Amino acid sequence: MVSKTAVVSLIGLLGMVYQATQLPPPPKSDPPGGFVVDIDVDDNGDGLVDAARIRLSDGRYLAYREKGVSKNESNYRIVLVHGFGSSKEMNFPASQELIESLGIYFVLYDRAGYGESDPNPRRTVKSEAFDIVELADQLQLGSKFYVIGVSIGSYPTWSCLKYIPHRLAGVALIVPTINYEWPSLPQSLIRTDYRRRLIQWSLWIAKHIPGLLYWWITQKDVPSTSVLERNPVYFSDRDIEVLKTTKGFPMLTQDKLQDRSVFYALRGDVVAAFGDWGFDPVRLSNPFPHNESSVHIWQGYEDKVVPFQLQRFISRKLSWIKYHEVRDGGHLILHYNGMCDYFLRALLVGEESILFRPKTA
């Protein structure tokens, strides 16, 4: 016979499971067409500033910032797509000398739900590409523009290659994340990859019991990002040195994660990045069949977030991709001294370096 205590415990457990499937209510966004004033703290300590934003066709607002030379005087116009837990305030440390000599204009934007951009409850891999198109068109970047995607910001970049190849002047993917659900990935490379199982569990929890995920990440005993940033499981020695002098992941602090809008943005990003894309990047066609421009992948050999073996597989399958490997590089090669200049020279003027040929066994 089942005891009363056991029944009460079971009911309590079922109640907890039900609560875990319920997300906290999403933050209310401004109604389309309403008067919007965006306020944020300027990184330079100058006080409060208003963000520049465009209104998309579905009524959402997308925040952006511009850097580099004047758009009207530029030779190259680049859309920079930030990674996980980042924003339009991401640092892309290209030298001012190179920016001015080549005439490079950048636009950085907060992807849906990040920073000062409105969330997109219908976010998909495809919608990310069309956010970029609308941004480019409203800012009058021209019929073609360059796209650089960083880490998880690579899935909007792959989406551009799939859905808007005719709008691309060139593409670079910096340490692009891998979706282990891509059908073309060989089992011999992913079967025993611990990252695959970790991502699968994280995705399942984010989709089915997000309330539990929200509860867990807001607990005080969850390791802070400062602890994670010193963990050699996630970062190479060179990455850890970089994190001593950079901001790291400002959206992943415990204070920020308490903010439901931040939680929604991060959760939506994970679900889109590692869920069903509707296409396999490994089967994409060359967007530049006449070699009028190029697509590049930059990968660190010592990257502990994304395995170099999978990037090599992708670049072999897509022979039109130019693959570069930083031999002592981890996941944060973007922040290594001088690397952004290498990215830009390769993408914009086709300047290659023997320093970044794949390391042989």
C-beta separation of 64 from 137 below 8 A? no
Q: What does the pLDDT read at residue 21?
A: 39
Task: Give residue-wise pLDDT tens across range 256-268.
Answer: 777 778 888 889 9
Q: What does the pLDDT read at residue 157?
A: 98
Q: What does the pLDDT read at residue 264?
A: 82
Of the given ranges (18-22, 69-73, 121-125, 273-277), which has the lowest mean pLDDT?
18-22
**Alpha carbons 297 and 233: distance in angstroms, whole number:** 23
Residue 119 Cα distances to 1, 145, 155, 189, 264, angstroms: 51, 25, 17, 35, 8
Q: What does the pLDDT read at residue 250?
A: 65
Q: Which of 144, 141, 156 is nearest to 106 (CA)?
A: 141
Name the band, by pLDDT with cuts 50, 70 and 90, for residue 213.
confident
Write out the H or E segment, with its range, that includes residue 99: helix 96-102
Of the given ranges (1-10, 51-60, 213-222, 305-314), which has the lowest mean pLDDT?
1-10
**DSSP secondary structure string for all residues of 116-127:** TSPP-TT--HHH
CA dihedral sign, ordered 9, 13, 14, 18 = positive
Model confidence at 172: pLDDT above 80: yes
Q: What does the pLDDT read at residue 216?
A: 75
Q: What does the pLDDT read at residue 337?
A: 93
Share of the chain above pLDDT 70, in %: 80
**Alpha carbons 297 and 183: distance in angstroms, whole number:** 20
Task: Give residue-wise pLDDT tens across range 6-38.
Answer: 433 333 333 333 333 344 455 444 433 332 333
User: Stretch 114-143: mean pLDDT, rounded?
Assistant: 96
Q: What does the pLDDT read at residue 95?
A: 97
Q: What does the pLDDT read at residue 308?
A: 96
Q: The tokens 């009363």 sit on which residue? A: 4
Is the model more confident about 39 or about 350? 350
This prediction has a pTM of: 0.84
**Alpha carbons 9 and 21: distance in angstroms, whole number:** 19
Share of the chain above pLDDT 90, in %: 63
Give me the residues paired with residue 108 across strands. 65, 80
**Alpha carbons 147 and 128: distance in angstroms, whole number:** 12
Model confidence at 306: pLDDT above 90: yes
* Cβ-based neighbours of 178, under 8 Å, separated by 6 or more: 185, 306, 307, 310, 311
Is the model more confident about 279 or about 246? 279
User: Stretch 52-71: mean pLDDT, rounded?
Assistant: 97
**Alpha carbons 284 and 296: distance in angstroms, whole number:** 14
Which three-class secondary structure state does DSSP give residue 193?
A: coil
Of the given ranges (41-45, 127-131, 139-143, 165-169), which has the lowest mean pLDDT?
41-45
C-beta separation of 57 from 130 below 8 A? no
**DSSP secondary structure string for all residues of 122-178:** T--HHHHHHHHHHHHHHTT--S-EEEEEEGGGHHHHHHHHHH-GGGEEEEEEES---
**Alpha carbons 29 and 119: distance in angstroms, whole number:** 8
Task: Give residue-wise pLDDT tens across range 174-212.
Answer: 999 999 999 999 999 999 999 999 899 989 988 888 887
C-beta separation of 139 from 54 below 8 A? yes
Task: Give residue-wise pLDDT tens across range 313-329.
Answer: 999 999 999 999 999 99
**79-101: b (≥16 Cβ within 10 Å) or e:** bbbbbbbbbbebebebeeeebee
Question: Rounded to the nearest 5°, which phi and psi values hold at 192?
Answer: -105, 10
Q: What does the pLDDT read at residue 283?
A: 96
C-beta separation of 114 from 265 below 8 A? yes
